Structure 1
Amino acid sequence: MAKDLQERNHLVRWGILIGLSFFSLATIFILIIDFEILRNPDITQDHHFRIALFILVIYFTIYATSGFIRYLARYLNNRYLTRFTALPKLSSYQESFTRSYFPNKPYEHIVILLHGFTASPQEFQFLIKHLEANNIPYISPKIIGFGISSTHLLSLAHRHDWYRVAIEKYDLASSLANKVSIVGHSMGGILATFVAMHRPVHQLILSGPGLHSAPSDLKYKRLLSLPIISSLYIRIVPYLPKPIRKGRQTTSDTLDQTHTGTMFQYLAIPINCVKEVFSAQDDVDITKTQSDQLTIVYGKHDLTVNMSALFQQLDHHNTPYNKMSFNNSAHNVLEDYDKEYCCQYIINLLKNPQKTNPISKLKKQSTTQVQADA
């Protein structure tokens, strides 16, 4: 048995001892200091000032005690965990990673849907109808911190938590199917890129991927990259409002406002997770992904991300890719005016990657389908 498992853990005792020592030293200091403010009754009453000092000492004693206990707890955990196989990019360990076993793969192909920032799997509400109509199995996970009743978890979430969810869902899908494709929207495009850097992907389809920030957001990225200043800024301004892009009427960067009021999203965002998204952009490199085919779909009027910078990066590294622009959509093309065309285009990619219909033909097919339904 490991030595540290046989040792008694005096975490709380050491913490209280440190707190009492701090309080005692501070009390002695208060009793021996001799300032004019303590001797001159015209300035303040001596006992009033000392009471205020003792209140401050009690506050800092509690702070010091809890801080020391947190530090010692991290030390104890980290020292013990060094014996395991670390997965730094996932903030996890090989021995503790999710396990599954399916002796037979019941599916030929599974699709993973990774949603965007402040949103939830609801973003794919129109695409999943097409997937189900074509009997294409899919997994649409809720990224840690998103899609719940408060932002308390999101304010603490780390990008490694998001990576871990994406990787675990891929590993589950790959144990069930021979081929795994990923559709990632916005921030989900960053996560999809991360997965494709570490796992083989069949179809890597990125919708308005947030790999490059819009020029209007770069000031925040620069600010939050400054070590000391960013920490101070986060402490003073813990939340940011979700912006309304220039020329838009709501926080949703879509031309079609029909579904805006029913889209699940947070209007106030913990700035710490904004910093994590910016850091995630720097973690991934789309030119190092491993996929049978890379496809970028985007709205021509996107104001949320910098698509031009993405295409310049891909072209500069001679990375093969397909792209499809939708003229009547903004950032979230999956919920904008071109949603039906975009969804059908993605379905065609998933079913017949080498025979994807051009957008003009998709529009014709869609119009014919509408008339037939009527």
Structure 2
Amino acid sequence: MNLLTLPENIKATTVSQPIFLKGTSEEAILLIHGFTGIPLDMAYVAHQLNAAGFTVSVPRLPGHGTSSEDFLRSTWRDWLRKVIDTYLDLSGIYKKVYVAGLSMGGLLTLILASIFHPPKIATIAGAIIINDWRIKLTPILSVFLKQLPKKQPQQKYDNPELEYLSKEYWSYNWPPQGKQLYKLMKIARKNLKKVSSDILILASENDKTVPLKAAHYIYHNVSSEKRKIIVFKKSGHVMTNDIEKEKVALELIKWFKN
């Protein structure tokens, strides 16, 4: 799609701004948000990791946190290029760089790890498999449909920027962008055997988007010598910003510290 036709007044909302927190050690962590998500989804975990001494970077993926029009112009290549660039920037400054990602961010973490082999990584509700069977139809659906209203009502937000993002992103399914996500799923699966980094796999039994079998699929198909699964009971899909976010942050700190 033509980026030159974007509205000149487009901007990233305040709540969508990337996060960068300078730490006290020579270790950094790249945190990657999910599909239609924003860096705010990772903010709690980012601050907890930073308090433990790590420098933390949470980039805003292209097309996210701006508008649906911008979103529809982004592709899986844009998203992967952004995390690669951020990883390379951090690697030029810090002795060790670790990577963790939520949902689609988990896919990007796995793909990045198959290329650069960071010492440690973590996937959080990594979307190697998802419950919505329609994802396989998105290459066809995307030819005819750009967006489909979701049947279930979306959460209402007091923050006007979050309410705006809800109307722009979260109130619809996006076949063209689902096609991009599906491509990342296939790339991640194809390259799992190339992942040799120590890996922590976090999942939740209450996740309605990514089934628990996705965590076990990752566990059994990576080549990592050190691998660990931790299953939570109460969290929804966005585990980094849900009822057990304190425990999620603690497990990540323990993983990257030890």
Aligned to 1:140: 58
Structure 1 residue corresponding to 2:109, chosen from 192, 198, 201: 192
Structure 1 residue corresponding to 2:128, chosen from 211, 221, 240: 211
Cα deviation, residue 346, structure 1: 0.8
Aligned to 1:241: 149
Say if 1:258 and 1:286 are closer, same or farther in 2 by CA, change over 3 A: farther
Kindly indicate whether residue 22 of structure 2 is the aligned counterpart of residue 116 of structure 1. no
Spell out the pairing of 1:136-175 with structure 2 (5 A cutoff): 136-148=54-66, 150-175=67-92
Q: Distance in 2 between matches of 1:317 and 1:196?
A: 10
Aligned to 1:280: 184
Aligned to 1:298: 203
Cα deviation, residue 344, structure 1: 1.2
Q: Show CA shifts across 1:85-137 (max 9, x none).
A: xxxxxxxxxxxxxxxxxxxxx95210001001111000012112212322310
Aligned to 1:307: 212
- Using structure 2 for the length normalisation, give the TM-score: 0.79
Spell out the pairing of 1:323-334 with structure 2 (5 A cutoff): 323-334=229-240
Structure 2 residue corresponding to 1:223, chosen from 124, 137, 147: 137
8 A Cα contact 1:205 1:294, kept in partner: yes
Runs of 4+ aligned residues of structure 1 deviating over 6 Å after TM superposition are none
Q: Distance in 2 between matches of 1:151 and 1:158?
A: 13
Cα deviation, residue 348, structure 1: 1.6
Counterpart secondary structure, 1:116: coil
8 A Cα contact 2:138 2:175, kept in partner: no
Alpha-carbon RMSD across the aligned residues, in angstroms, is 2.8
Percent identity of equivalent pairs = 22
Cα deviation, residue 250, structure 1: 4.9
Q: Distance in 2 between matches of 1:258 and 1:330?
A: 21
Question: Relative contact order (alpha carbons < 8 A, sep ≥ 6): 1 or 2 greater?
Answer: 2
8 A Cα contact 1:299 1:332, kept in partner: no
Cα deviation, residue 318, structure 1: 6.7
Q: Show CA shifts across 1:323-349 (max 9, x none).
A: 111112121221111111111111121
Q: Distance in 1 between matches of 2:69 and 2:137?
A: 23
Structure 2 spans left out of the alignment, 5+ residues: 3-23
8 A Cα contact 2:120 2:199, kept in partner: yes
8 A Cα contact 1:107 1:176, kept in partner: no
8 A Cα contact 1:212 1:281, kept in partner: yes
8 A Cα contact 1:199 1:290, kept in partner: no
Q: Distance in 2 between matches of 1:288 and 1:318?
A: 7
Cα deviation, residue 243, structure 1: 6.5
Counterpart secondary structure, 1:303: coil
Q: Show CA shifts across 1:226-272 (max 9, x none).
A: xxxx1xx334321033565xxxx8569xxxx999x958552224321
- Using structure 1 for the length normalisation, give the TM-score: 0.56
Cα deviation, residue 305, structure 1: 1.1
Aligned to 1:92: none
Spell out the pairing of 1:86-105 with structure 2 (5 A cutoff): none
Q: Distance in 2 between matches of 1:125 and 1:190?
A: 19
Q: Show CA shifts across 1:181-228 (max 9, x none).
A: 0110001001111110111212211100111121xx12x223224xxx
**Which has the higher Rg, Structure 1 or Structure 2?**
1
More helix by share: 1
Counterpart secondary structure, 2:69: coil
Aligned length: 228
Q: Distance in 1 between matches of 2:106 and 2:233?
A: 20
Equivalent residue letter for 2:33: H
